[in-house]
Amino acid sequence: MKECLDLDIGNSSIKWRVGTRQGVVPHGELPDINREVERVRVSSVALERQELTSRLRERYGKTPEFAQSTQELCGVTNGYKVPKQLGVDRWLALVAAWNKFRTNVVVFDFGTAMTVDYVEQNGMHLGGFIVPSEKNMREVLGDRTRDVQVSETSEHSISFDPGTNTNTAVIRGLDFMCHTWLSGCISLGIERLGPDTLVVVTGRGTQKVKAVIDSHYMYEPSLVLDGLAIALP
């Protein structure tokens, strides 16, 4: 049976899934799937689609179908005054999260930006927040601040002890900023939605969330792809 190729095209990478196979490739590349697919379904943050459509059609032999943000989808109502202005990746993620759990949800997505969205149990999207990722903030400090050069770091133990050298001071300062933002977003969710609110996380932020949340949260690594299957069944 032929399957769908689903693509979540972000600013820095492309997540893909075909059936039970999935992976990530750098932005600008396309996955080698070594099989024929029936459809190509796409979530893309890029505004220009013509070149992307041509590349996908040439590579996979199918005209891609693009998801878009709408006023309503599968029980969820878009909270933006102009629905199409909500990033399609956020829209698909929050629709997938609500449909999976059917309760009050706070949905975090950690990518090139850090985003959070709030959805009531009845499916009403209340809006959300967008802030730069920790990586982007670190790069701005390195580019714009004299004598502050911060080394690239992989996953590290989170500490809120004051740093005793510049590199550590920046890393821990950014950790503290993320911690404060996460705590505030979760507190707001509980205040607006109620104490039974479920926190759902996608992207690369699980370590940060673990440092903040004492209670249960759900990690769903493929929320955008899950939402894509809902939007383009």
Q: Which of 6, 89, 117, 175 is catalytic?
A: 89
**What is the side-by-side order of every strand in the sheet holding 217-219?**
125-132, 113-119, 105-110, 198-203, 217-219
The H helix count followed by the E strand count for the chain is 6, 12
- For the chain, the 3-state helix, strand and coil shares in percent, each to the nearest 5, are 35, 25, 40
The phi-psi region of residue 231 (left if phi > 0; otherwise alpha if psi is between -120 and 50; otherwise beta) is alpha
* Bridge partners, 125 (sequence order): 119
Q: Which amino acid is at 166?
A: T
Q: Is 147 a catalytic residue?
A: no
Residues forming the active site: 89
